[in-house]
Structure 1
Amino acid sequence: MLKGVGIQKKYGDLEVLKGIDLEIKQGEVVAIVGPSGAGKTTLLQILGSLDKADSGKVFLDNTEFNSLTDKSLVKLRNEEMGFVFQFHNLMAELTAIENVCLPGWIGKKDQSETKKRASELLHTLGLAVRENHLPSELSGGEQQRVAVARALVNQPKIIFADEPTGNLDTKNADELHQLFFDIRDRFNCSFVIVTHNKELAKLADRTISLKDGLLDKDLN
């Protein structure tokens, strides 16, 4: 479903990724682990089309990113991918439901249908009574659930998460871990998760370990 072939990336003289080959299947939860500086976030950003490799190719289904115009790539990213980051990245002036609606509005989807789906997602994630609250009125765990709902609103094939539990306490982190698998089972979307959390990595269907810009291990 998602495939990377020969991915290489340098920043100046620093070779961050030295030739990565990997494949993510539909409905698979994959954790990317490794020491700081191994290239985990860089790989995630390239797989999610947020950055470009210096060489190599990335395919989503049979669409190769380099074959697309910038406009087409933005459209693909908005419609087929969702993103969850460590620090939520919610718009402070928007309510929870408005934050969730953003990807749909950006993609020019029907506003009423988008709002209906956003409300359903917040209800599913236990935030029905928090729809009209601003991020500042939500706990860290609630903010991250809003971010997850936002990632799901366009019904993506794959969600990329970069240290999604890094800013949460143990209880909220455990709940978010379980939520990812509940979402996978319900919506059949794939997850690629960069994490230092050993418990989350253990729960994943597969763990990819990076070291010095290379694939160190791919554990099924």
Structure 2
Amino acid sequence: MARLEQLTTPVDAVLSRMRALDAALPERDGVAVFNRVYLAVTDEVGRRLSAGEFTDARAATTLDVRFAERYLAAVDAADADRRPPACWRPLFQLRRHPGVRPLQFALAGINAHIGHDLALAVVDTCRTLGCRPTELEDEFDRVGDLLVSLEERIREDLMPGPDLLQIADPLTHLLGSWSLERAREATWAAARALYALRHCSDVAEDFTERLDAAVGFAGRMLLTPLRD
């Protein structure tokens, strides 16, 4: 606890938590695979914040932290034997399945976090800062651009080599059906819809549950075991 009190920004706090998870989880664990990817993203966001690359550093920091908190809450729920959101359940349920490849784990985590958590994090940030989603669009786009560039690197790092392409053809087909760019566009639309529904709690809750379930279904498909 003393170490957390010495941290200078909320981004440092979430980075510390992710590094602790990285040290504690087995390397092949599906959550560990996603955590390493997300740690790299958050590290890069922190670096760019320090370099002054975000127009509104306060908004970017708040969005980044609210975003990370939803992933960490899902980890806490699973660790406490509580049900995480539906979007995260496939990853936690299949995290040790020998037939699921590391790239599938990484992209299933990205799917859950972008497809569901990011939309809610935008609304959380609007509530925290007293702003509208349109005022966060620049920060949203910058984080999205970073994720797209990292997704390309993830695919290169975790995709089987040329000698395995024939064996991995089902993997190529499966992962080719999912696009981070499309997920990002859908998330921005969902965030704006949720913000518009903020005074209609019943409708907003129903919308959120359906979004959660739909993203969870996509995650289940991404984690289709390709061998026993």
Question: TM-score normalized by structure 1?
Answer: 0.30
Where is the helix percentage greater, Structure 1 or Structure 2? 2
More strand by share: 1
Q: Could you tell me the TM-score, scaled by structure 2's length? A: 0.30
